Copies of this chain bind each other. A is one copy, B any other.
């Protein structure tokens, strides 16, 4: 399952060239054209970024929904179904179908909550952990290369912009989850 590479027949656009950081050029920096470039860069980078695990998933008959569930169960071991629902922002019917498969396939275990027995706490089995690793490995490798080629300052900027792109009213929660200090 992969997307075609390359865009044949497209000649270069009017390049804008180097990086700008002088005071007077700050305004110029935010032209519609600059913003549009950002939009497209995001589109293509994210597309390639998500194509990595898709191949792994396809082999096992899973989709991105499974990936997301596995990722956040790995990230927050013992998370409840409602908690996962909250993070993923999908309906419980959608999540449930995915979860059921993963439980049946022995990748996730559900344990009844001790304090609140209505809850089901989710955890990865060793097999689930293994799949998680094989899903995230290519993404981590892609990021590792991009980060190391771009350099630490670029990475700091990358994160800073991404953080500011998140909805105001969800940012702190996300940053806590991610493990960054909310401002």
Query: Which A residues are closer than 8 A to B by beta carbons?
Result: 1-17, 19-21, 25-26, 29-30, 32-33, 35-49, 68, 71, 75-76, 83, 86-87, 89, 136, 139-140, 142-167, 169-170, 173-174, 176-182
Contact = CB atoms under 8 A, between A and B. Distances in A.
A13 B163 contact: no
A15 to B, nearest CB: 4
Scoring A12, A13, A17, A45 by chain B CB atoms within 10 A of each residue's CB, the highest score goes to: A13
Contact of A170 (B7, B21, B29, B76): B7
A152 B14 contact: yes
A13 B155 contact: yes
Copies per assembly = 2
A176 B48 contact: no
B140 A39 contact: yes
A156 B155 contact: no
Nearest to A35: B140
Nearest to A16: B179
B180 A14 contact: no
A150 B11 CA distance: 17
A37 B46 CA distance: 15
Contacts of A8: 86, 173, 181
12 contacts: A2-B176, A4-B179, A6-B86, A10-B76, A12-B156, A14-B179, A20-B156, A21-B152, A36-B136, A39-B136, A41-B163, A153-B153
Contact of A165 (B49, B89, B164): B49
Contacts of A25: 152
Contacts of A40: 75, 174, 177-178
